[in-house]
Amino acid sequence: MRIRTLWEQLARSIVRRPVVVLATAAAVIVGLSVGLTRLEFRTDQAALIDQDSAAYKDNLRYQDRFGGEGMLVLFTGDPVDLFSAENLPKLEALEDELRDTPGVETVVGPHTTMSFAIDQLSVAPELIGKAFSRAPDPDAYGAALGADLGRLSAAGEASIDNPDYVRFLLFDADGEVRAGQRTTFPDGNHALLAAQLTGNASIDEQAAAAKAIEAVVSSYDFGGHETLVTGSPALLDEINRSLKGGMGSLGGIALVVMLAVLWLAFRVRWRLLPLAVMACGTAAALGGAVLLGIDLSIVTISGLPIFIGLGVDFAIQLHNRYAEQRAEGDSAEQAATVAVTTMAGPLTVAMVAGAFGFAALRLSPVPMIQDFGLLLCLGVVILVAAAIVLPATVLVLADRNRPAMPPAATTTPGLIERGVARMAGLSTRVVVGILAVGVVMAGAGFLVEGKTPIDTDVEHWVPSDTAALGDLDQVRSVTGFSSQMSIMVEADDVTSDAVVEWMYRFQTAELERHGDQLLSSGSAPSVAAGIVRLAPTGEDVRTLMDVAPADIRTTLLSEDGKAANVLFALGDMSLSERGDLTDAIQRDLRGDLAPPVGVTATPAGLAVIGTELVRGMESNRQTLTLAALAFVALFLLVRGRLRARSLLPVVPVALAVGIASLVIWVLGYELTPLTTVAGPLVIAVATEFTVLLEARYREERARGRTPAEASATLPRIGRAFVASGLTLAGGFAAMAVSPAPLLRDFGVVVAIDVVVALVSALVIMPPLLRWTDDKPEAMSPPPPVPETKVEEPPKAHRRTRQLVAHAVTHR
């Protein structure tokens, strides 16, 4: 079936059987919307980085062996007092209860650490005795140990409930916390408990475990101590919740803004109908995505405001054409027929072009951006289908008993139409100047696009007054760190002398080289070094691990002895800075700190996953924009039978993309994981504007108008363009009030993009159409179509029949 016949038959069905068409459309929408009941958000790390990447596989393996991210409990008060007769039973009970909490893998707190310190003394004499032979200066070595032995004797009973003994284990002769204890006791007024969560858990699973930990800790009262629970899982949950909740609340704000814009700018009967059409299309699009297995994530959820904006935009275009025909005297049936037959084709072309642009997102290495592209492709198809069928059907039902109005002899253009007419009717000299400036600005925009920074500090993605962020800041002020990096060491036996010697040398050297970023480290060899005060041997490590509590042992060594964990406490830094640090460490591992033959050392943990995510977004964001432009151009070129003139709609689009990038750069906006995907969106919006302008120009030319006359009629659809552009921009601009920086910046950037795209299309496209028109004279209108072509009421206007014929014939 030829496409033009399809639109004819659709128009005929709407006019003849509007109730049946509306009921069928409603059934389809309801059927797709059922998917909303199964709506879930993907929050596992497979949504962040490619499952086939080495980083993903390494991290899976690491978390299988050593667990996932950690939650921290900060005790503020005299740490020795935690071991008082009143607090010690509570401390032990707290650690035991946390170990039994679902989602928790290991717990290393003050009680576990101090118990291990006491157990170490049972093997310390043996280890120290063997270390004497390795000491560079045995006399000095013995003197240092002798001073500690004197303090040990004065401490009294070797018991965890003896405050003097605890104080000896905790502080050195100078009153400073011993180096080996600083992971749990950062200073003389604080203590830390680390609860390691189950490995490879999703963000939602981590959030559930974090809440459970908070509930357990809050049920205990340690006299003289305040407790605070925090950790990266809590911050990630805050980001996830702010996006989910923010999208819902901001969607409501966007609807209010769009309602106001439609009421003021779209002065037609049933002016709010596009909102209802959008709601139906958006529900069907999101529900259909769920039914097709498209995952929703922190990026794909941003499809909601995009669907809201595009849904209203598409519906306005058809509704405006219907209103235009009614104003010229057509009946409801005639107006609906003209609207469908003239607008369905261009809207479909815009839809396909937009889908081609969105498909470029599938080239991203980030899985959730790939899913975002697929979601937008599906959504634009459903939204255009809804925009073609629903407005025409509803308007026919609402207006079919209203008599046709006599066509007005003259129509006074409104403010919007006059503004559009001025933009579309600028002189050739002015347009050439604008075009030249636009080309320069667009070129500069494409050059700076890759230089626009991406804010990779996770803590900047949530409101500054967020409780989780405040808690992390408090922990960082005490300890200097709030996150860690892990190095997984693998070998046939990680407790062999060669591996232990290398691990100790590696972590010592890294602390010296990156002391401003790596604040401290922990490993089985470093624990042994704290006892013998020398570079440890494999036997030292094995002896200590034999007496270590299970949670400490499994945190540092795998059960099979083939993997070890080196933990570095990180200073405050962004994901990009962590990536640079990771690169530096990997260079060291390939250089003078390379592990022995048969041994591998691999960075792992959330820090590495986050770094890979940011790099995936940064690596080809400009490529995605250019690919989207190329895909759209290829579609238009093929559709235009390889004629160069068919690429005209791409010219204002390319200018809009480049100029928007330059504007964002000049305004100093930093991109975020959401705003990096704005390029294909502005391409889709701008292409719709230019395609519809071209289609209307062709239609007016086919009716016998000269190029100048056809161009002069374009302001007649300016009301729809401005209304749709303002609703789009206004809907996204409403996100600027969001307390969540991710949503706020995304809304502002996209609003800027939409405004630039609208202005570019209205200023550049009309003169381009005139200049490239190869038939400057007026075209002869074809003969009227026979009455049987499109069934109309008996008194149909000849002008309407001819208009339908032209639209169908020249589609």
Residue pair 765/690 in contact by the 8 Å Cβ criterion? yes
Residues whose CB falls within 8 Å of the CB of residue 133, separated by 6 or more in sequence, listed in order: none
The residue written with tokens 């099979």 in the block is 560
d(CA 10, CA 16) in angstroms, rounded, equals: 10
Instruction: Name 643's Cβ contacts closer than 8 Å, sequence gap at least 6.
Output: 637
Q: Which residues pair with 191 in a beta bridge?
A: 75
416 pLDDT higher than 70: no
pTM comes to: 0.74
pLDDT band at 75 (very low <50, low <70, confident <90, very high): very high
Can you tell me the distance from the alpha carbon of 333 to that of 393, in angstroms, rounded to the nearest whole number? 10
Mind giving me the DSSP string for 486-549?
EEEEE-S-TTSHHHHHHHHHHHHHHHHHTTTTEEEEE-HHHHHHHHHSS---HHHHHHHHHHS-
At residue 191, φ and ψ (nearest 5 deg) are -140, 155
Q: Which residues contact 240 (CB under 8 A, 6 or more apart)?
A: 41, 43, 203, 204, 207, 298
Is it the case that residue 111 has pLDDT exceeding 90?
yes
Domain ranges (residues) in the chain = 3-46+237-402+416-453+614-809
Give the pLDDT mean for 26-37: 89
Tokens of 697: 């120009």
Does position 180 have pLDDT exceeding 90, yes or no? no
Give which of 504, 556, 521 is closest to 183, Cα–Cα: 521
Starting at the edge strand that comes first in sequence, how are the strands of the sheet with 518-522 ordered?
A: 518-522, 563-570, 483-490, 600-604
Is 70 in a helix, a strand, or coil?
strand
Whether the predicted pLDDT of 796 surpasses 60: no
| Cα 289 to Cα 37: distance, rounded to the nearest angstrom | 12
Lowest mean pLDDT among 68-77, 301-310, 521-530: 301-310
**Is 70 exceeded by the pLDDT of residue 192?**
yes
Better pLDDT: 629 or 475: 629
**If pLDDT is split at 50, 70 and 90, which confidence band does 232 have?**
confident
Q: What is the pLDDT of residues 297-356, one digit of tens each?
A: 767 766 777 787 788 888 888 888 888 888 888 888 988 999 899 888 888 888 888 888
Tens-digit pLDDT profile for residues 532-564: 888 899 999 999 999 999 999 999 999 888 999
432 falls in which pLDDT band (50, 70, 90)? confident
Terminal Cα distance for the chain, rounded: 14
- Average the pLDDT over 370-387 and give the result: 89
